[in-house]
Amino acid sequence: MKQKLNNFDYLGSRIYKPRKINVKRGIGFGMIDLMGGGWNSIVSGVIFTFLMFNGIEPAIAGAITGIGRIVDALFSLFIGDITDNFYKTCLGRKFGRRHFFILFGGILFAFIYPLFWLPIGDFWFYLLVYIVIEIIIAFILIPWETLPTEMTKDYKLRTVLSGSRMFISATGTSLIFIIISFLENAHNPSVYLIAGIIWTIIFVVAIFISWGTTWETPLTKELVAELDAKPKLSFVQIMAVSIKDYFSTFRNKAFRKHLFVYIFSFTGKDFYATMLPTFVVYTIGLNGGDAWTLLALSVIGIPATLMAAKLMITRGPKFLFSLSFGLIIASMLGYASIYVTALANPMLALIIVSLFYQVGRAILEFTPWNVFPFIPDVDRIMTRESRAGIYAAVMTFFRKSTGAVATWIAGILLNISGFKPAPKNSSVEAIHNYALTLPNAVTDKIVLIFFFGTVILIIVALVVSFSFRLNRHTHAVLVKEIDRLEAGGSKDDVSQEAKDITEKLTGHPYATLWKD
């Protein structure tokens, strides 16, 4: 006989039936990140160019994603709490407190997402639709990211789910640029609208595959009683507690450095993706299809990620940061050299340089989120609490906010440089001919913006990474010390190595750690 809660039959639902977790199931779970990884690539690498193609000035084009992502970053702070408490509703019990939002979000996405790619050419239209899309995606991704914890308590099985997601995300990034490159090279006049429709189909199918192959913790009477026993806080109280928790993470020295490297390096990566099409089309003199082809070389990031996984174990994160940033800086020097030397046939050189860049980018995207699971352990010896969710929320908030700013700044700098994009809805040939008429003073400024905007951000991240102390050895010493203290060990008996390492990682005297 099926159990009931408030006379509502729910435990027989597929949403609450655990199944065997294997690679196939991991792929099913990770399919949503085709949209997650793909959408981030679209935001940083496609939308800016699309908006200029539709007659939007560069500074205004950058403002659309800038304003939209900041609004989304603020809104996302509430979504986790909303889904946590959605079990109290009939819809939450029937469809799952996480799965309801994935299902409903997928339906909304199917109808709203294609609207953005209509050739309207109106700032307010694009801004409104963009904000709605970001909120819909947040309602899908945030509850989806909780599912590994809901589906299993086994560390290895969670790793299967998370590992599958990583490679699917990289596939989504490549797929975005492959599709638009094919359409652009076919000289399709409706390239962005058709690409938007294709992306919609792929993303919606991916969303429903993940929705249909995953489950969440059954809402048993015991679980509901546990959830109901939590203190009832008003909206204002929830916000006050959340803000206090978010600011408390900055007391963690290892996290401050990690967040600094993460923000500056990822913002530099976003700046590159935003500016590359403008650089290729308006300074090198190639067409938009060539620019998207160069970005589609991100497919090399899949094997590069495998290499990074091995190097993370053998050499550690500091080495990976240096390798990644070094490749990116060398690539930017390569791009600048191609412009200065004015090669007769620059495409081959651009491909070679872009391959090096994409390897560096893949290592960059791999490293921070593989270092992140160690960060809450540093916090644990400071607070004696498990607060991984708070740290993830802070990283996500800053990532969304600063990533949007990169595009905005790029647009403002282009406006200041005197650059004007080709007239609205120009053909490939017309854009090429227009690019040839730009004075050297303007093209020189575009190259300087592209080069220094990316390189300065990456250099800042590189310099900070030199003093990043969290690695396999220091983490092992930290965990050993936490285990010793949890077992009742005295702080007076700490070894000199453990004392030195914990102080360097936390930024606080050992005597102030692990408070009673």
The two structure tokens encoding residue 205: 């199918």
- Residue given tokens 């993830």 in the structure block: 392
Report the alpha-carbon angle 100-103-105, nearest 5: 100
pLDDT digits (tens, 9 = 90+) for 382-436: 988 767 667 777 887 787 777 777 888 899 999 999 999 888 878 878 888 888 8
Domain with CATH 1.20.1250.20 in the chain: 8-230, 248-470
Residues 437 and 282: beta-carbon distance below 8 Å: no
Q: What is the CATH number of domain 8-230?
A: 1.20.1250.20
DSSP 491: G
Cα 91 to Cα 32, 87, 103, 292, 358, distances in angstroms: 22, 8, 11, 43, 44
pLDDT digits (tens, 9 = 90+) for 96-107: 878 888 999 999
Higher pLDDT, 360 or 385: 360
Q: Is the pLDDT of residue 202 over 60?
A: yes
**Can you tell me the distance from the alpha carbon of 281 to that of 450, in angstroms, rounded to the nearest whole number?**
13
pLDDT at 1: 38
**Can you tell me the distance from the alpha carbon of 448 to that of 132, in angstroms, rounded to the nearest whole number?**
34
**Phi, psi (deg, nearest 5) at residue 390:** -65, -45
For the residues 129-137, what does the mean pLDDT come to? 93
For the residues 103-117, what does the mean pLDDT come to? 95
Higher pLDDT, 357 or 475: 357
Residues 61 and 411: beta-carbon distance below 8 Å: yes
pLDDT digits (tens, 9 = 90+) for 269-325: 989 999 999 999 999 999 888 999 999 998 898 888 888 888 888 888 899 999 999
Q: Is the pLDDT of residue 2 over 50?
A: no
**Can you tell me the distance from the alpha carbon of 142 to that of 109, in angstroms, rounded to the nearest whole number?**
15
Burial of residue 128 (number of CB atoms within 10 Å: 0-12, 13-18, 19+): middle
The two structure tokens encoding residue 62: 């950058």
Q: What is the pTM of this model?
A: 0.83
Neighbour count for residue 107 (Cβ, 10 Å): 13
The two structure tokens encoding residue 319: 């080495």
pLDDT digits (tens, 9 = 90+) for 164-190: 777 788 788 888 989 998 898 888 788
Average pLDDT, the chain: 86
Higher pLDDT, 155 or 22: 22
pLDDT digits (tens, 9 = 90+) for 231-253: 666 667 767 777 788 888 899 99
Q: What is the CATH number of domain 248-470?
A: 1.20.1250.20
Beta bridge pairs of residue 16: none
